[in-house]
Structure 1
Amino acid sequence: MQTGNQADEDEMMAEDAGFEDIEAGRGVVVAGETDARGRMSAATITDRITDGAVFVLSAAGLGRHALSEQGLRLKVLASAVEIDEAPAVGEAWRLGLQPVPAEEGAIGFAAELVDPLFGDLMARGLVEVILEDAEGEPVSFPDDIADRLADAATEAAAPDDSLPAGCGVVATRHCDIMGHMNVQFYGVAFEQATRLLTVGLGLPEGVVLKPTRSVIRFKAEQRLGDAFQVTTRPTMVAPDALAVTHELHNIETGALAASVEYVLIPITAATGATHPFDDETVETAAMLGAEVLAGIDIGPGPTPTEGVRVETYRGSIDPWHCDENGLLSQQALIDRFSSGAGQLLGAIGLSGARIQTDRIGTAAVEYRVRYEGPARNGDALVLESQIAGVRDKVLILRHRLVRPGEEATPLLEIDVVAVMLDLEQRRATRVPADVTERARGLLVETEASAG
């Protein structure tokens, strides 16, 4: 850590927990974040603290948009972490940051990772950030930065009718060929929100919330460097199902970037059998804002398998694709659809080379997902994809994920509404005529019935 006085840094690291801080992260530990002991690794904690600093500065008005307009960028000088007892797989955590004195020209943050239920300190750290211009020369922070950071605590708070469910920063590894955050990482954020809700409801060990239906809507692109916040709101609860809405907002602009409406059912992870909520869980969900109902409509089942289908993925599920229960994670699941979409788009004339040359691509605006069964470690999978509709500026794709030999009962089916995107202007544009012609050759149903 680059500080003017190492002794001061050591003293700061030794201070007691409990300062008034700005929430800069919240989640539940997943297997991919752990070390050999099954606990959140030091590298993951460091990443969370670094992202937390960017998140807080974005909430203070120094996000990607503002910095880009001024030709500036944030640079993390260094970070230091001291771990007491890192959270284990399946345990919840909360990250809080507080501004502290730092080197001249830098902003320092003291960070604490704590148990959100009991407040126990898990780890603490320090991070320093500076501003640079396009030539890499240091630039002073605004004179009112202290007031902005004080206001950030309020800006980062969840709305009154929602619960905080995490936040993050878009990194290079999150972006696809279109230059925006890939849909799988929205899935990661929403899956984390569901995990936090599972902890909050106090479900028994081994019982998880499995999606059975969902509608994901994408409202605004999230680009490299954007900071976002996730909130959650249970809306309905029945003995055997829970409806919940998660929202992802850009913390700098306040814009709603994406939302998902889930119908979740409680299952025993080991068997896949339904595990109905007890009365206490239903009462807890009601206290969180859910309407108590006798049952929740999960909608229609899979659509008939008509029309031309293209195999866009064939493979198997490995352990690193799964959560700690051996179930395929939302990230790995959506990644298969994202990759399959690339294969299908290539088949109708939208290859990666053309996307880069002509600067046109697609952006999903809605996912409608029907989950029929969990996919597990070791399962062999096949993804079949179709064109389900063609519009002036829109393509509708349909994907079915099946086990080989079990095509009649898909594990999952998804309809994707994708808008054609001018990658220079970042706005909708017409589907090229040759793409439309090829797409119509694979059309699974008429345009009138595809909407």
Structure 2
Amino acid sequence: MIVIGRGSVQQEECDVMGHMNVRHYVARVADALSWLLLEAGLPVPAQRLAVRDQHIRFLREMAPGTPFTILGGIIGAEAGRLRCFAEIRNSATDQPAATFVTDLGAFDDGPLPALPRAAALKVARPDHAAPRGLGFDPPRALPDRAASRAMGLAEAYRGAVRPHECDADGIMRPDGVIARVWDGVPNLRNRGTGLGVKEEGVGGAALEYRLVHLAPLRAGQLVTVTSGLRALGEKTTTWTHILHDGETGAPVAAAEAVGVAFDLKARKAIPIPPAQRAALEVLLVPGLGL
């Protein structure tokens, strides 16, 4: 792998749990993938390659001030998609903090541009980056907003795409999409779960994410997120989140996330407390998933 990014975690990139928030992992890797494409022979600016599908594993926390290096390479290309790999490593310990397997391609599923140096960047996905609690097969057809609500999914977010979240062409960056999911998650506690609330020393942390981008989101576009609980383990919850166009109700993106209840002092996962487990069991949606 080659170096495609470098930096350090800033205080404003961290959330109430005291570690780097998921949206900033995504933003940093999006920048790094542009460097990878440049090394592969795609000049800047060039034909747009958007994130179409992405699998993320969070392996270790990154606190404010943590230095990091992003390494990357190209796994392969197939059917108009370029599959890339990126790994964020703590520069002080050389331990991986997060891994990203990302499929890039045009939203119209057109052909990939020529990448004359891609072969020299070929890498294999390491075992620690493999899907664990989530799949990475092509997603199923997703329900529109009305169908999602009928299935029992709850509206977690309702808002709009802001111009500062968009690129030079007015299209929302990938970190804006995952930010919408994260922004809506605390509303789920209003359904009686209390899970992931920063109180009595207990919070929440993500272990794994899968994000599917179906259509570009543009500045000013209205968006909702509906969320449902797919699975419940001893320590983990798996939620499915679907982003819908505010005007038409059509699905435009989706995410799945495996999270844990998190002891904020010991900085480790803990079993889901019995009262919260009972509340969560009521929220399970049969057949839900990407």
TM-score by length of 1: 0.56
Matched residues in 2 for 1:194 and 1:324: separation? 17
Mapping 1:60-79, distance limit 5 Å: none
SS of corresponding position for 1:224: coil
Query: What count of residue pairs does the alignment treat as equivalent?
Result: 273
1:115-142 per-residue CA deviation (whole Å, 9 max, x = no partner) reads xxxxxxxxxxxxxxxxxxxxxxxxxxxx
- Whether 1:364 and 2:216 are equivalent positions in the alignment is no
Shift of 1:440: 1.6
SS of corresponding position for 2:251: coil
Residue pair 1:247, 1:258 contacting (<8 A) in 2 also: yes
Match of 1:60 in 2: none
Matched residues in 2 for 1:318 and 1:303: separation? 25
Shift of 1:403: 0.4
- Residue type matched to 2:248 in 1? E
Mapping 1:243-254, distance limit 5 Å: 243-254=83-94
- Counterparts in 2 of 1:242 and 1:204: CA distance versus 1, 3 Å: same
- Whether 1:176 and 2:9 are equivalent positions in the alignment is no
Q: 2:32 aligns with which of 193, 196, 199?
A: 193
Residue pair 1:250, 1:257 contacting (<8 A) in 2 also: yes
1:40-92 per-residue CA deviation (whole Å, 9 max, x = no partner) reads xxxxxxxxxxxxxxxxxxxxxxxxxxxxxxxxxxxxxxxxxxxxxxxxxxxxx
Residue pair 2:54, 2:100 contacting (<8 A) in 1 also: yes
Q: 2:108 aligns with which of 247, 265, 273?
A: 273
SS of corresponding position for 1:441: helix
* Bigger relative contact order (CA 8 A; separation at least 6): 2
SS of corresponding position for 2:62: coil
Mapping 1:70-89, distance limit 5 Å: none
- Whether 1:288 and 2:121 are equivalent positions in the alignment is yes
Shift of 1:198: 3.1
1:154-201 per-residue CA deviation (whole Å, 9 max, x = no partner) reads xxxxxxxx1211112112111111111110110111111122123333
The structure that has the greater radius of gyration is 1
- Residue type matched to 1:442 in 2? L
Match of 1:416 in 2: 257
- Whether 1:210 and 2:54 are equivalent positions in the alignment is no
- Counterparts in 2 of 1:348 and 1:229: CA distance versus 1, 3 Å: farther
Shift of 1:277: 2.7
Matched residues in 2 for 1:264 and 1:188: separation? 15
- Residue type matched to 1:218 in 2? F
1:385-441 per-residue CA deviation (whole Å, 9 max, x = no partner) reads 11111111111111100102533x411111100011111111110111221122122
Matched residues in 2 for 1:206 and 1:411: separation? 24
- Residue type matched to 2:24 in 1? F
- Residue type matched to 2:61 in 1? E
Match of 2:227 in 1: 385
- Whether 1:355 and 2:227 are equivalent positions in the alignment is no
Shift of 1:367: 0.4
Shift of 1:274: 4.1
Aligned-residue sequence identity (percent) comes to 26
Matched residues in 2 for 1:444 and 1:288: separation? 42
Matched residues in 1 for 2:42 and 2:177: separation? 26
- Whether 1:325 and 2:165 are equivalent positions in the alignment is no
- Counterparts in 2 of 1:391 and 1:348: CA distance versus 1, 3 Å: farther
Gaps of 5+ in 1: 1-161, 292-296
Match of 1:300 in 2: 139
Matched residues in 2 for 1:322 and 1:239: separation? 27
- Whether 1:258 and 2:98 are equivalent positions in the alignment is yes
- Whether 1:344 and 2:188 are equivalent positions in the alignment is yes
- Counterparts in 2 of 1:406 and 1:246: CA distance versus 1, 3 Å: same
Q: Over the residues paired in the alignment, what is the CA RMSD in angstroms?
A: 2.4
SS of corresponding position for 2:151: coil
- Whether 1:401 and 2:272 are equivalent positions in the alignment is no
Shift of 1:287: 2.5
Matched residues in 2 for 1:417 and 1:345: separation? 16
Shift of 1:302: 3.8
- Counterparts in 2 of 1:238 and 1:339: CA distance versus 1, 3 Å: same
- Residue type matched to 1:436 in 2? R
- Residue type matched to 2:268 in 1? R
TM-score by length of 2: 0.86
